[in-house]
Amino acid sequence: MLQLPLHVSTLVPNPHYLLLAMAVVVGTLSLIIAFMLIYLLWKNQQGRKQKEWQQQLAVALQRAIYFETPENSPPVIPLTFRTIRLLKKPAFRQLMIDELLQAKKAFTGTAADNLVTLFHQLRLDELSLQKLRSRKWHLKARGIQELAVMHQQQHTKRIYRLTNAHHELVRMEAQSAIVQLHGFEGLRFLDIVDHPISEWQQIKLLRLLSRTPGALPENTDRWLSSPNDSVVIFALKLVAEHQQQLLHGQVATCLDHPHPLVRLQAVRCLKDIYTDDTSAVLEKAYDAQTLACKLAILETLGHIGSENNCIFLSQQLVHPDNSLKLAAARALVKTGGKGLQCLQEYPQAYMYPLNEIIQQAKTEHTV
Amino acid sequence: MKILVAEDEPILIRTIEVRLKKDGHELCLATDGQQAMDRMTDFVPDMVITDIMMPYASGLEIISFARQQEKRKIPIIILSSMGQEDVVLEAFKLGADDYITKPFSPNELSVRVRRLLSV
């Protein structure tokens, strides 16, 4: 018989260890399968429970949507015994809030009013307030959203405090909520906000206000001199959107603002609320502006200007920057007869690059 | 009257179903555009109420399909969201008869349905 050296024989597997390894593998596999089965059963049970809850909620919501308030008695929307019992579970209450919110966004009139009544009747606002008190920003934001959609004006004070919150998303939700709850009056948060209002948030607020009946508050001009630059920019957008010609003077002073973006927005605003003085104001402010602002002024003059601006616009054709030359040529073309004459008679009109710039401006105008 | 309702939001379709059944109409519900077009062939509705934005086929496709299939002109109401003016105009070009903007009142929808069916 072949005698293996000692060091080689130690490498031959011992049947005892092989069995042990197999037992470990089989045991682990069994555990995994058992875990998977239990998980699937639990998931299935959760799915069935969720489906049953949603059926209960669907019935409750339909009852609320078509509820007719009886005369001489407070509105109390009837709910099934099972729904009332399920409402003791926090998860069901949250699902109820989610469904109510979705339904409230879909309907108007009595149906929407009834959904708010049900929210109030079940004291679901307390759950939203709990979220508002949470230290987690996403819960705070969710709570604010719930109260705003369900039109819970009685909690305005708490939401208003958050319009200047440190966390940007909480702040954004609170600002939108205040506008949703109080329309144009809600804009008073602009008096206290220290943090910048992002471009996205400004679009969101303008969109909300476009669906809101009413007009800008009389004291809108105070936001034009706010120490917060983003408030000034937003106020300028509001003035333009709502055609506040009376604020022309205050808007014109924004052309001297230290922040270039405020000055740019002021030019855009003046384009929308222009008067007979606007072009003279813009000409006067021109030299101190940035390139973007100068381009905006030339574009505005093309839009609102007249033959009186032709000399000023012709002077800009000598600027070394071709984009300014093109903007001035475009403005001259737009001002009409005299503007075109100024372009033709300009001493370097037939020299490169002005000849091509003038041709480009003319072609754009005819197209 | 037989009404085909195509809407993908569960709460909306359920509410429309309750309201129109209460008004005595027979309903056929579809939760996506393709389903709506499939059902139109065997249900033969007297009216179609359709959402604009839906999976698989849009409300505009449903309007075109309904107009191609019909043997007699049936009224079509579209459900649009705010800011969909261009799409609403396109729907009218394709042959829609009325539109209602979301969010809406179920009672208002009921009145519009009654008015269009009585014409």
Among the listed residues B50, B2, B110, the one whose alpha carbon sits nearest the alpha carbon of residue A66 = B110
Interchain CB distance below 8 Å, A107 and B15: yes
Q: Are B54 and B29 in contact (CB under 8 A)?
A: no
Distance CA A283, CA A279 (A): 6
Predicted confidence (pLDDT) per residue in A345-361, tens digit: 777 777 788 788 888 88
Please indicate whether residue A156 or residue A18 has the higher confidence score (pLDDT).
Answer: A156
Q: Model confidence at A340, in pLDDT bands (50, 70, 90)? A: confident
Distance CA B112, CA B107 (A): 9
Place of tokens 């008190």: A133
Q: Which amino acid is at A154?
A: Q
Give yes or no for B108 touching A (CB within 8 A): yes
Three-state secondary structure readout of chain B = CEEEEECCCHHHHHHHHHHHHHCCCEEEEECCHHHHHHHHHHHCCCEEEEECCCCCCCHHHHHHHHHHHCCCCCCEEEEEECCCHHHHHHHHHHCCCEEEEECECHHHHHHHHHHHHHC
Give yes or no for B39 touching A (CB within 8 A): no
Backbone angles phi, psi at A321, to 5 degrees: -80, 120
Which positions in chain A touch B19 (Cβ < 8 Å)?
Answer: 66
| Percent of residues, chain A, with pLDDT higher than 70 | 96
Output the CA torsion sign for A316, A320, A321, A326: positive
Task: Say whether pLDDT at A6 is over 60.
Answer: no
Predicted confidence (pLDDT) per residue in A128-156, tens digit: 999 999 999 999 999 999 999 999 999 99
Interchain CB distance below 8 Å, A106 and B12: yes
Nearest CA in chain A to B15: A62
The end-to-end CA distance of chain B, in Å, is 13
Can you state the angle between helices A137-149 and A90-106, rounded to 10 degrees?
50
Predicted confidence (pLDDT) per residue in A304-323, tens digit: 988 888 889 988 888 889 99
Place of tokens 């399909």: B65
Interchain CB distance below 8 Å, A107 and B104: yes
Optimal mutation site among A61, A62, A114, A210, interface B, most CBs of chain B within 10 A: A62
Q: How much is the pLDDT for A4?
A: 57
- Find the mean pLDDT for residues B24-38: 94
Give yes or no for B105 touching A (CB within 8 A): yes
Q: How much is the pLDDT for A126?
A: 94
pTM of the model: 0.82
Task: Provide the β-strand partners of residue B49.
Answer: B5, B77
Q: Model confidence at A3, in pLDDT bands (50, 70, 90)? A: low
Interchain CB distance below 8 Å, A66 and B18: yes
Distance CA A138, CA A136 (A): 6
Q: How much is the pLDDT for A266?
A: 97
Nearest CA in chain B to A102: B11
Among the listed residues A69, A55, A65, A101, the one whose alpha carbon sits nearest the alpha carbon of residue B106 = A65
Task: Provide the β-strand partners of residue B4.
Answer: B28, B48
Q: Which amino acid is at B36?
A: A
Provide the token pair at A62: 């339909």
Which positions in chain B touch A58 (Cβ < 8 Å)?
Answer: 10-11, 14
Q: Are A106 and B8 in contact (CB under 8 A)?
A: no
Predicted confidence (pLDDT) per residue in A90-127, tens digit: 999 999 999 999 999 999 999 999 999 999 999 999 99
Closest in A62, A105, A108 to B15, CB measured: A62
Q: Which amino acid is at A62?
A: Q
Which residue pairs, CB below 8 angstroms and at least 24 apart, start in A360-367?
A360/A326, A360/A329, A361/A326, A361/A329, A361/A330, A361/A332, A361/A333, A362/A333, A364/A330, A364/A333, A365/A330, A365/A333, A365/A334
Which CATH architecture group holds B2-117? Answer: 3-Layer(aba) Sandwich (3.40)
Give yes or no for A66 touching B (CB within 8 A): yes
Closest in A62, A66, A108 to B104, CB measured: A108
Q: How much is the pLDDT for B35?
A: 94
Optimal mutation site among A108, A110, A150, A206, interface B, most CBs of chain B within 10 A: A108
Cα dihedral B112/B117/B118/B119 (nearest 10): 90
| Percent of residues, chain A, with pLDDT higher than 90 | 73
Predicted confidence (pLDDT) per residue in A59-85, tens digit: 999 999 999 888 877 888 899 999 999
Three-state secondary structure readout of A184-221 = HHHHHHHHCCCCCCCHHHHHHHHHHHHCCCCCCCHHHH
Provide the token pair at A98: 């989610």
Give yes or no for A102 touching B (CB within 8 A): yes
Q: What mean pLDDT, rounded, does chain B reach?
A: 91
Q: Are A155 and A129 in contact (CB under 8 A)?
A: yes
Give yes or no for A211 touching B (CB within 8 A): yes
Bond preceding residue A353 cis, omega within 30 of 0: yes
- Find the mean pLDDT for residues B62-74: 87
Can you state the angle between helices B10-22 and A15-65, rounded to 10 degrees?
40
Task: Say whether pLDDT at A191 is over 70.
Answer: yes
Please indicate whether residue A252 or residue A340 has the higher confidence score (pLDDT).
Answer: A252
Distance CA A338, CA B28 (A): 67
Please indicate whether residue A131 or residue A362 has the higher confidence score (pLDDT).
Answer: A131
Count of CB pairs separated by less than 8 Å, A with B = 48
